[in-house]
Amino acid sequence: MGGRAPDDPESSSATAIQDTRVEKEAPRASTAAVAPAARTIPNSGLTAWLQVLGAFCLYFNTWGLLSAFGSFQSFYEAELLASNTAFQISTIGSLQSFVLVFLGFLAGPLYDAGYARHLLSVGSVLIVVGAVCQSFCSSLWQLLLAQGLCIGIGCGALAVLSVAIPSLWFTTRLPIANGVAGIGSGLGGVIFPIIVRNLLPRVGFGWTVRSIVLVNLVLLGVANAVLRAPRAPTSRRRRLVDTASLADRPYVLFVAACFAVFLGMYTPFFYAPTFAARAGYTSQEQSFYIVTAMNLASIPGRVAPPLLAQRLGPAGVLRVMLGTAVALGACALGFIGCRNIVSVYVVACFYGFFTGSFFALQPTCFATLTKDMKVLGTRFGMAFTVLSVALLFGSPISGALQGRLDTCGPNEDFKVT
């Protein structure tokens, strides 16, 4: 009796306003329910494999270019920079490899923040510009700036992309996807020395390097066309260091193990040709092909062990990686027993095979040890920064030792001069 009638105007108005609010809030609730849907990793398909193709092109023009430095080292020592020591010349390749890996400290967080497309564009331009400048160089300091610094920065911008992007498109097939992408590094290490070896006597240093620039342009153009950035840039600020990773014991131990491997990883690539030529096992011209053989052998090494790791599962990846590291160290020591060119090639091929395996399995191991994929790029960058120190000092130390130790003949051991 004392309440308002259902058709009371004031009551109807309040009810209408309440109904309107409910109707407006309903779509918001529906949208909020749909927004958190996680992205499904396809693990197959044309777009996914095109990312592998793009990563292949990046590997070809970063690690493949670095793997071919041994050919330039031999030419620089014999002709262009004959007045400089092996240690001084090796600083070009060491600077390039150091900058390539060290820039992961910045490239990793930028990748996580959504700037993959920017890294891809800037890195591609710097590699091409640096190589063009390299073709006009005639002194050590010029090569340090062009080949060491400029190309190194460009490679550093692309290196994280080549290892991180396949992880966004593959799960159970990630080991083989990374292995196929990593073939680009081995193939680049095969093709670039062949270009150097065949064109240097015919067209000279300048046009030889410009021919390499043409290869860079084509393959980097393919990478820019097919690679898909993971997401648009966000306003959220990314930390350079993921502090939680520093307390992740498996991650820290794996980075430390990789540091030990990287300390001597490129010594055979830089110095095996010079070693064989000075020991009298082969001529200076034919020694170029030792680097080619190592990189060619790395191609099956990037496929076979990842296939085995894929069958064994996540834990199997780490076991295969451990066996690969042990085999790599054994092959490096095998150069001590070389007494002729055949033995040099045999040891070099085995070393190249296990080098390829190491590089193919490394990004999969990092992905396996990472629970939150949102910080994958940052964790790659942190690891790369540590590994860059090993790359910076490893080859120059080898060059300094080469100045103290000399091979006196095909049947003699190293001895102090």
- pLDDT per residue over 166-224, tens digit each? 888 887 777 788 888 888 888 888 888 888 888 988 898 999 999 999 999 999 999 99
> Which tokens go with 367?
């992905």
Most confidently modeled range among 350-354, 373-377, 392-396 = 350-354
Q: Which amino acid is at 9?
A: P
- What is the b/e burial string over 244-272, where b = at least 16 CB atoms within 10 angstroms of the residue's CB? ebeebeebbebbeebbebbbbbbbbbbbb
pTM score, two decimals? 0.71
**pLDDT for residue 127:** 95
Return the minimum-mean-pLDDT range out of 18-27, 152-161, 296-305.
18-27
**pLDDT for residue 56:** 93
**pLDDT for residue 405:** 61
pLDDT at residue 14 tops 60: no
DSSP 114-126: T-HHHHHHHHHHH
Beta bridge partners of 414: 407
- Asked if residue 385 lies in contact with residue 264, where contact means CB atoms within 8 angstroms, the answer is no
Most confidently modeled range among 26-35, 226-235, 304-313 = 304-313
> Which tokens go with 334?
């095998």
DSSP 200-212: HHHHHHHHHHHHH
Mean pLDDT for 292-303 is: 85
Most confidently modeled range among 9-13, 256-260, 263-267 = 256-260
- Alpha carbons 376 and 131: distance in angstroms, whole number: 30
**pLDDT for residue 360:** 81
pLDDT at residue 387 tops 90: no
On the CB side of 285, CA atoms within 13 Å amount to 4
- Asked if residue 120 lies in contact with residue 158, where contact means CB atoms within 8 angstroms, the answer is yes
**pLDDT for residue 16:** 46
**pLDDT for residue 236:** 57
Task: Tell me the pLDDT band of 406, cut-offs 50, 70 and 90.
Answer: low
pLDDT at residue 392 tops 80: no
Return the minimum-mean-pLDDT range out of 58-67, 129-138, 237-246, 276-285.
237-246
Over the chain, what is the mean pLDDT? 79
Higher local confidence (pLDDT), 47 or 221? 221
- Asked if residue 270 lies in contact with residue 398, where contact means CB atoms within 8 angstroms, the answer is yes
pLDDT at residue 337 tops 80: yes
Task: Tell me the pLDDT band of 154, cut-offs 50, 70 and 90.
Answer: very high
Return the minimum-mean-pLDDT range out of 19-33, 35-49, 103-117.
19-33
Most confidently modeled range among 113-117, 227-231, 345-349, 384-388 = 345-349
Angle between helix 288-301 and 267-278 (nearest 10) = 140
Mean pLDDT for 128-138 is: 93
**pLDDT for residue 394:** 76
pLDDT at residue 235 tops 70: no
Instruction: Give burial (CB, 10 Å; 0-12/13-18/19+) of 356.
Output: buried
Mean pLDDT for 310-315 is: 72
Mean pLDDT for 35-45 is: 62
pLDDT at residue 256 tops 70: yes
